[in-house]
Structure 1
């Protein structure tokens, strides 16, 4: 067995090629989703210097549903960050529908499923066009809940649905107290995958071995080993190896990128582009490879509002948001200038890699709330007040309040 180390850029689930690989053509939607995925990865990496695992597909899908209701500057910012502006807008959502349909195959030797759902305030009138399009393109039906009167009950309903769709792997995507009575809509996407390796690792070859976290630190972890024919490549410019390990049926694969140096990952990460991924994929050939890699299990969650604002879509998460495309004519008049905005975008992901294969799940939820008033008036310190006659504008009474009646405690008595 070779002694080596493994560092992961991520789990790139890709379509496996035939025995004699030909250049792979990705779809325009896959290209723009990859651009967004890599930019978000680099942004998340700033605050997560060690492990990262997430589903860019889940995040893109949830935001694509949100995009159906976005208008004006909000829509333009989302389109730019998500790269939707690079696609033909007349059939953009049809492309997403086609991609979602392509992923579902009940006759294949793995499980891969996605689901979308809208959880909406039962007293709120949503725009019919928005509901029709989220249903037609994303299969997202509206489930009425009562955020106003039973906030915690609505939260539990959403969590239960996410757990069911992800085989209980994503639990408590929304913690107690997360939602508020101001919530109007929660958009949710889930994705779940479970597949066995085409060539499983033998448990008899699994053993403790050193994993080099950095040039200065080693840890002992459970490592798997096997050797066989796998698609393999090298990038001499970036000094790394690329390995593709197919899942049973060879329709899906895990691609692992391993830098030559223990501390060589950063140089690769800064160079990541969809074109580089395609070049790696198309340059690999089948060779005899001895694979040593750790068993691992990760559960990670991210609040994405700040990160997505940072890379170019701040309006969505503040009072400048324009999500008027979600609102029906009655409530568009009622809410007036307050409007809606995404209060938080949550993402939680799970992965388990072992000798048999891989199980992975993720969920993304956007909490859309009624925006607060444009100004806050917090009368929590001394103020003046007047009582006047509005017809004559005469001041009838006037005063100041320094200590409200019944509050006699001084600071020095606390």
Structure 2
């Protein structure tokens, strides 16, 4: 008989395949629409839309399932989300939480099967509110989000986004704060050039360390990658650096975690130069999701009868995300089956200089799922220590 660990690994393996496909397509569409520095949580979007899918019927459900690449076996996917929630929320040595909530208009009756499924697999809160009182209902929702994200995501909803026609608001909140396994010495942080384009550069605060890292050449992406472990080795930040200064758009369109993990990774001493950065993004996802084929759920033909017999459709899908990276580690928030093969590297140390636009991802190793994905295109010049 398979052990519990083997069962969980199998569930994670199946789940990561669908999540990889969704993440690749989702981010390739998000990045060009945001345009500037970007951070988002494909996992957050995937989870909350999956909850919606299990309450959808007919063509509405078909469109959602197709765009989310959900497995045909609902119990496998649902158990996958349950295992992931437990694994993330029980992680030690860092701060991480993944939470779901479904705010319901007073007087609306939800289907018992939908409530039971959400409680069992997604651990969702289901508070009742009066959306006709837009100020108070918005305050309650924003307060919940702030609490779940350690006050990093504020004012997710504005009062004018809620009215008497609002019946249900579904929310997923993600928060992450981890310290590097190899912290950067603040004394080595100094202003270094960061090339926005071939002809434009800025001098920005850049961290430095020389330590042991896993890194890889990504020939198909014309890029390089390095993995920065956190103090809890189940989590790491992946930095993906295009070989060309203006190579980020191509990287964003072709980013695929699976192909990156399956490449040949080396391990050895690396001199790493990494800019400090802080990014916050607010992304309206309706247009992106419709381009991915999720259309009917936004119309009067939406069939959400698995949620409630009341006539329902989706009004807005919004994601707000935040990340900060400094010498201690990183803080982020948002409302591998393939073995890594490492070999020791001889001196001199590899130099990994992140001095041009790049991508990053915070990854959960057991599930092989990226929790956050983002891009840095431009960083503002800051005064040097002597100018402060």
- Shorter-normalised TM-score: what interval? 0.7 to 0.9
Matches within 5 A, 1:38-57: 38-57=24-43
Deviation (angstroms), 1:181: 1.1
Among 276, 280, 288, the alignment partner of 1:299 is 280
SS in 1 for 2:221: coil
Paired with 1:25 and 1:258, the residues of 2 have a C-alpha distance of: 31
- CA change 1:237–1:165 in 2 (3 A) is closer
Paired with 1:210 and 1:197, the residues of 2 have a C-alpha distance of: 24
**Would the aligned equivalents of 2:28 and 2:255 in 1 still touch at CA under 8 Å?**
no
Matches within 5 A, 1:322-337: 322-327=303-308, 332=309, 335=310
**Would the aligned equivalents of 2:11 and 2:80 in 1 still touch at CA under 8 Å?**
no
Paired with 1:259 and 1:73, the residues of 2 have a C-alpha distance of: 40
Which position in structure 1 is the counterpart of 2:248?
265
Which position in structure 1 is the counterpart of 2:103?
119
Paired with 1:362 and 1:32, the residues of 2 have a C-alpha distance of: 21
**Would the aligned equivalents of 1:31 and 1:274 in 2 still touch at CA under 8 Å?**
no
1:100 aligns with 2:85: yes
Task: State which structure, 1 or 2, has the greater radius of gyration over its C-alpha atoms.
Answer: 1
Which position in structure 2 is the counterpart of 1:358?
330
**How many residues are matched?**
326
Deviation (angstroms), 1:235: 2.2
Among 268, 279, 286, the alignment partner of 1:287 is 268
Which position in structure 1 is the counterpart of 2:127?
143
**Would the aligned equivalents of 1:169 and 1:350 in 2 still touch at CA under 8 Å?**
yes
Which position in structure 1 is the counterpart of 2:297?
316
Paired with 1:180 and 1:89, the residues of 2 have a C-alpha distance of: 34
Which position in structure 2 is the counterpart of 1:75?
61
The answer for unaligned runs of 5 or more in structure 2 is 1-9, 336-388
SS in 1 for 2:108: coil
Which position in structure 1 is the counterpart of 2:147?
164
Deviation (angstroms), 1:26: 5.8
SS in 1 for 2:23: helix
Deviation (angstroms), 1:92: 2.3
- CA change 1:239–1:175 in 2 (3 A) is same
- The root-mean-square deviation of aligned C-alpha atoms, in Å, is 1.7
Paired with 2:244 and 2:11, the residues of 1 have a C-alpha distance of: 31
Which position in structure 2 is the counterpart of 1:390?
none
Paired with 2:214 and 2:188, the residues of 1 have a C-alpha distance of: 22
Which position in structure 2 is the counterpart of 1:222?
205
Deviation (angstroms), 1:66: 0.9
Deviation (angstroms), 1:250: 1.5
Among 59, 74, 81, the alignment partner of 1:89 is 74
Deviation (angstroms), 1:35: 1.1
Paired with 1:259 and 1:46, the residues of 2 have a C-alpha distance of: 16
**Would the aligned equivalents of 2:11 and 2:79 in 1 still touch at CA under 8 Å?**
no
The answer for unaligned runs of 5 or more in structure 1 is 1-23, 364-414
Paired with 1:260 and 1:25, the residues of 2 have a C-alpha distance of: 36
Which position in structure 2 is the counterpart of 1:205?
188
- CA change 1:26–1:133 in 2 (3 A) is closer
Paired with 1:25 and 1:219, the residues of 2 have a C-alpha distance of: 46
